[in-house]
Amino acid sequence: MNIIADKNIPYLKGVAEQYGNVTYLDGAAFTHEAIKNADTLIVRTVTHFGEAILKNTNVKLICSATIGYDHIDTDYCDAHGITWKNAPGSNSGSVQQYIVSALITIARKKRFDLKDKTIGIIGVGNVGKKVAKACETLGMRVLQNDPPRKEAENGVNFVDLETIMEEADIITFHTPLTKEGKYKTFHLADQSFFSALKKRPIIINSARGGIVDTSDIKEALKDNLMSGAIIDCWENEPQIDHEYMNLVDIATPHIAGYSADGKANATRMSLESIANFYGLSKDPITAIKEPKPYDAIIDLNNYSDSTNRTYEAILYTYNPLLDFEHLKSSPETFKRLRNEYPLRREYTAYTIRNVSEREGDVLTQLGFNL
């Protein structure tokens, strides 16, 4: 089997070779000519895979090591016998970690208590469910909006978008990017959305850049229709809007899902898709192991009793201000900041010491070890 893989997909080299002849390319180097003799592609979101690149090729399977699939023309693939697979839920724990750290950071900046706030979660799938659970663990009131799930499940625990616009102090998006259909999310947050906000909420987008209309959110920020913004996903990446970046409280280079755990999960899922499709053994996949963090022990006695030691443990695993500083100082390196992202491990990689019963309850619910 001939496999062509994005060279920036981690933990792949040395394992993918168990399944065939592997050629590694930069994401932007996936062209019709480059892939025409490949049987299988392992990709990220850099290139769009539609008729222009896939027509008259040998490609039978596309595995995307990402939770999204808007970079794949699924209709074309389905119509031409090309199987496509993504990695749903692979980085849900990573995005949860990003959101929790971002919430703590902005609460400290703006001097409010998270327990006093209502958060509206738009999109309650693999990621949104974990974010909801974490926010409840932190003592926040949680409103959940997911029209497709509400319709499919006849759910009574979901609220409409208008309720979130009226009651939420913080609104976070966790939907796919869809440009057509009943539940279109492209530019869901537009001028009409922002003008309907009642409590000047903080907006968080760590899903897809196109969910938020860049021009409209800039005007909303300038007009004080919102009290802040945390933005990880951007329209026109990697050429992001610098004015937009300078208007928000935290700006990061689309790395919310970039924990080592999330990356390893996505790579495993891509290889599992190959094994399933071709009827091959999954044994080689067990070789994928995330590196251990530099120091996996968090001693809460290192923090003053006057501080929230639970928050300090969370920020020890990830502090978004470091990524914000790197992006703001050199936004032109957006792509490099993603491709060369440093090791970040999720809560399950850490053990807490000298923890009180109350602290331990919160930290274990988030996934830490005691």
Question: What pLDDT shows up at residue 241?
Answer: 98
For residues 62 and 72, is the Cβ–Cβ distance under 8 A?
Answer: yes
In 60-157, which residue ranges form alpha helices assigned H by DSSP?
A: 74-79, 92-110, 126-137, 147-153
Model confidence at 70, in pLDDT bands (50, 70, 90)? Answer: confident
* 268 CB-near residues (< 8 Å, 6+ apart): 285, 288
The CATH number linked to 166 is 3.40.50.720
Of 167, 235, 237, 272, catalytic: 237
Query: For the segment 219-252, what is each residue's pLDDT rounded down to a tens digit?
Result: 999 999 999 999 999 999 999 999 999 999 999 9
Q: Is residue 292 included in any domain, yes or no?
A: no
- Domain identity same for 226 and 270: no
Q: Catalytic annotation on 237? A: yes
CA 46 to chain CA mean position, Å: 15
Question: What pLDDT shows up at residue 328?
Answer: 97
Residue with tokens 């974490």: 134
118 closest CA partner among 163, 156, 158, 149: 163
- Domain identity same for 80 and 96: no
Asked if residue 155 has pLDDT above 80, the reply is no
Instruction: Work out how many domains the chain is built from and give that number.
Output: 3
- Domain identity same for 187 and 241: yes
- Domain identity same for 276 and 311: no
CA-CA distance, 226 to 109, in Å (whole number)?
15
DSSP E strands in the chain: the ranges are 2-6, 21-25, 40-43, 61-64, 83-85, 118-122, 141-145, 170-173, 202-205, 228-231, 250-251, 297-299, 351-353
- Domain identity same for 247 and 99: yes
Q: Is residue 31 included in any domain, yes or no?
A: yes
Backbone conformation region of residue 250, classed left if phi is above 0, alpha if psi is from -120 to 50, else beta: beta
Question: What pLDDT shows up at residue 46?
Answer: 81
Question: What pLDDT shows up at residue 67?
Answer: 86
CA-CA distance, 340 to 223, in Å (whole number)?
36
Question: What pLDDT shows up at residue 305?
Answer: 79
Q: Catalytic annotation on 326? A: no
Q: Is residue 49 included in any domain, yes or no?
A: yes
Query: Hey, is 9 helix, strand or coil?
Result: coil
Of 254, 309, 344, 345, catalytic: 254
- Domain identity same for 229 and 269: no
CA-CA distance, 227 to 285, in Å (whole number)?
46
CA 308 to chain CA mean position, Å: 26
- Domain identity same for 20 and 99: no
Asked if residue 71 has pLDDT above 80, the reply is yes
- Domain identity same for 116 and 240: yes
CA-CA distance, 335 to 333, in Å (whole number)?
6
- Domain identity same for 157 and 193: yes
**39 vs 69, which has greater pLDDT?**
39
- Domain identity same for 33 and 126: no
Query: For the segment 113-147, what is each residue's pLDDT rounded down to a tens digit?
Result: 999 999 999 999 999 999 999 999 999 999 999 99
Residues of the chain with pLDDT > 90, as a percent, come to 94
* 79 CB-near residues (< 8 Å, 6+ apart): none
Asked if residue 267 has pLDDT above 90, the reply is yes
- Domain identity same for 275 and 309: no
Model confidence at 364, in pLDDT bands (50, 70, 90)? Answer: very high
- Domain identity same for 220 and 108: yes
Q: Catalytic annotation on 48? A: no
For residue 315, give its domain range: 297-366
Query: For the segment 170-186, what is each residue's pLDDT rounded down to a tens digit?
Result: 999 999 999 988 999 99
